[in-house]
Amino acid sequence: MTKSALQIARAAYQPKLPQALKGAVVAKEGEPTQSVADQEAIKALFPNTYGMPLIQFVEGEAVEFPAINVGVILSGGQAPGGHNVISGLFDGIKKLNKDSKLYGFILGPGGLVDHNYKELTAEIIDEYRNTGGFDIIGSGRTKLEKEEQFEKGYEIIKELGIKALVIIGGDDSNTNACVLAEYYAAKNYGVQVIGCPKTIDGDLKNEMIETSFGFDTACKTYAEVIGNIQRDCNSARKYWHFIKLMGRSASHIALECALQVQPNICIVSEEVEAKEMSLDDVVTYIAQVVADRAAAGNNFGTVLIPEGLIEFIPAMKRLIAELNDFLAHNGAEFAMIKKSQQREYIIKHLSEANAAIYASLPEGVARQLSLDRDPHGNVQVSLIETEKLLSEMVATKLAAWKEEGKYVGKFAAQHHFFGYEGRCAAPSNFDADYCYSLGYTASMLIANGKTGYMSSVRNTTAPAAEWIAGGVPITMMMNMERRHGEMKPVIQKALVKLDGAPFQKFAACREAWAKETAYVYPGPIQYFGPTEVCDEPTKTLQLEQAK
C-alpha cells in the first residue's frame, strides 16, 4: 500500500500517556455514585451495575495477570482517533500478558450479533496506529438492545473465550453498553462490558467525561477550511459564505469553530430554542448583519450554521411533527399526487399555522421536508440544506429592504457543508494521545474486573503526563427520557449550555465579529513542532476548564 510521507512519519508517533499509566497501576475506588437524575428508576433497572464507585488509576506494584481475550466494537459515526483507542487497548492487554488476544467485531454491533469478527494481531494494529477512520474493522449503527441480540452475542463470546467487550460509541451506544453489562452481570455470564466516549458531535460529556474523542480533530479540520474560506472571502470581498457544520442536534462543533475562526455570524441552535426564535427572526438577524456590513462597504462575510438548527426552531419543530404524522397516515395517497401539485396538497391539509410556514419555505426545502423519511418515519433533517434555506430567505428579505430603501448593497452567496471531511481526519496529537489513553485505561478496567464502566481520562487541558485516568459507572450519567413513546434509561445528551463559558465568550464577542472583519485563520493541524502549535486542546475545553 502506498503511503504519504506524513503517514509514514505519523505511524512512528508514540502517543503520550498519563504518568500513572506508564508503569503498573492500582485502582483507587471512590465513594458510591448515583445517577444524575431519576435515581430510584435507574437503580431498579440496573440492580447489578448501579451505585458503583468512581475509579482512578494510580501507580502501583506490578502483579501477574493471566492472558485474556477481549472483543472490541466501533459503533456509529466515524471519529478521528478510533484506531488509537484500539491500539491503546491492544498494548494494554498485551502488557498485562503477552498471550492476551484482541478480537474486532466487523461493521459495528451487528458484527457481534452476526458473529462477524477478526483477530487483531500486532501486524494489523501497527498498520493503523495514529491513523484516522474506523476502517480497521468498520463501524455500523445497529442498535444492541434486544435480549436475542445479547444472547446471540454471548454465543460467539463464549466460543472465542472473550472475557470483556469494549464498545466505542456515542451516548446511545454507551447506554446500550450499560444495558448489556447489566444483562451479562444478571445472568452471571462473567463477561465485562466497558464503554469509550466517541463522537465528533461533542455531546457526550459531563462532570466526569470532559470531551468525547474526535471532537478536537474534527473541529480543527473544519476550522482550517473555514479559515481558508475567510481568507478568500476577505480577498475577493464579494461573497457571503453560508457554512453548515455537522454535529446532529447540539451546536458544540459550530460554537467551537466560531471560537477558533471568529466569523461574522454563528447561529447556536440552543439559543434559538431558548429565545423561541422563529425562522424569520433568524433570517432577520442575519440580514441585519449583512445590511450593516454593506453600509460600511463590506459586501462579504461568513455565517456558521449548526446542522440541527431546523429542529430547534419551535415553529419548524411543530411543522415537522405534523408533517411526520400526516405523511405516516397519508403517505400512499401523497405518493400518487403529481410532483407539481404536492406542495399545494400539503398546504391544503396542514393546520393553518403550519400551512403558512410551509408555504413560506423555498420550493427545494419544502420538497425535502415532505419527501425524505428515515426508517422511523422522521424527516432526515441532516439532508435539509439549511445553508441554502437561510441564504435564499436572507436574499428575499434584503430585496424587500432594498425596495424600502433600507438596504444598499450587493448580496451573493456561496454554500458549504462540512461534516464527512473531518470525521476521518488523521487524529490531532490531542486525539491521538487521548484515544490511546482511553483504550489503555479500558484494558486496566478489564484487568480490575470492572463492568458497566466508561473509560475516563480527565484534566485534559494539562500536559498528557498529568491526565487522570480511571472509570465512571455508566449508570451515573443516566436519566429517564421518553423515547418512541416509552420512558427509557439513557445517558443525558449534553447540549450547549448558554450559561457555560464557551457560549458566554462567544456572546461577548459576536457583535464585534459581526461588524469588524476579525477573522482568525487557524491553518492545518500540525503533528510535529512546538507543543503550543501541536498540542493545544479545543477552545471549548480551555474555556470550560479555565480556573
Binding site for ligand FBP (CB under 6 A): 76-77, 79, 170, 199-201, 246-248, 307, 382, 423
Based on CB atoms, which residue is closest to ligand FBP, 420 or 528?
Answer: 420
Q: Round to whole Å and give the CA distance between 545 and 246.
A: 24
| Residue where the block lists cell 447540549 | 495
Alpha-carbon distance 121 to 481, whole Å? 41
Q: How far is the CB of 17 from ligand FBP (least distance, A)?
A: 25
Active-site hit among 171, 201, 431, 433: 201
Pairing outcome for strands 101-105 and 69-74:
parallel
In whole angstroms, the minimum distance from the beta carbon of 168 to ligand FBP comes to 10
Per DSSP, what are the bridge partners of residue 166? 72, 194
Q: Which residue lies nearer to ligand FBP by CB, 247 or 489?
A: 247
Q: Enter the DSSP assignment of 313.
A: S
Task: List 482's β-bridge partners, or say none.
Answer: 487
Closer of 171 and 433 to ligand FBP (Cβ): 171
Of 210 and 322, the one with the shorter C-beta distance to ligand FBP is 210
Beta bridge partners of 244: 305, 417
CB neighbours of residue 336 within 10 Å: 6
CA 278 to chain centre: 26
CB of 136 closer than 8 Å to CB of 424: no
As a whole number of angstroms, the distance between CA 336 and CA 159 comes to 52
Nearest to 227 by CA among 539, 520, 428, 509: 520
Burial track 492-507 (b if 16+ CB lie within 10 A, e otherwise) = bbbbbeeeeebbebbe
Taking the least distance from each CB to ligand FBP, the nearer of 211 and 451 is 211
Decide: helix, strand or coil at residue 456.
Answer: strand
Tell the smallest beta-carbon distance from residue 245 to ligand FBP (Å): 9
The residue behind cell 461493521 is: 107
Which residues lie below 8 Å from residue 527, measured CB to CB, with a gap of 6+? 6, 9, 10, 13, 426, 428, 429, 534
417 forms bridges with which residues in the sheet? 244
201 is known as an active-site residue: yes
Q: Residue 4 Cβ, how far from ligand FBP at the closest point, in Å?
A: 25
CB 446 within 8 A of CB 164: yes
State the pairing for strand pair 413-418/468-473. unpaired
Nearest residue to 234 (alpha-carbon basis) of 511, 515, 513, 519:
519
Nearer Cβ to ligand FBP, position 251 or 262?
A: 251
Whole-number minimum distance, CB 381 to ligand FBP, in Å? 9
Q: Is 8 exposed, middle or buried (0-12, 13-18, 19+ CB in 10 A)?
A: exposed
**Nearer to ligand FBP (CB atom), residue 157 or residue 204:** 204
What is the distance between the alpha carbons of residues 251 and 545, in angstroms, rounded to a whole number? 19
- What residues are annotated to the active site? 201
